[in-house]
Amino acid sequence: MRNIDVTGPYMHDGRFLTLDAVLEHYNTGVLNTQNLDPLLAKKIPMTAEEKLQIIAFLRTLTDKAFLTNPNFSAN
């Protein structure tokens, strides 16, 4: 999950541009389909504060040294 804050768009189809949108999807937007994992059927309830805390944690996984290291640059 390193650098997840800078690797959007998110989800398998890139439909969410922000981490907040991803969390909101799991909070309220999961549709009950035939192949939905039963663990997601009840969604993942989060308060606004909890979402902020999760995003703050995910941002701690950003490795600025890695992102700016020319050894890992495509150029």
Is residue 15 classed exposed, middle or buried when 0-12, 13-18 and 19+ CB atoms within 10 A define those classes? exposed
pLDDT at residue 22, as a whole number: 96
Assess whether pLDDT exceeds 90 at residue 72: no
Residues 4-63 have pLDDT tens digits of 999 999 999 999 999 999 999 999 989 989 999 988 888 899 999 999 999 999 999 999
Compute the radius of gyration of the chain from its Cα atoms: 15
Closest CA to 54 of 24, 16, 9: 24
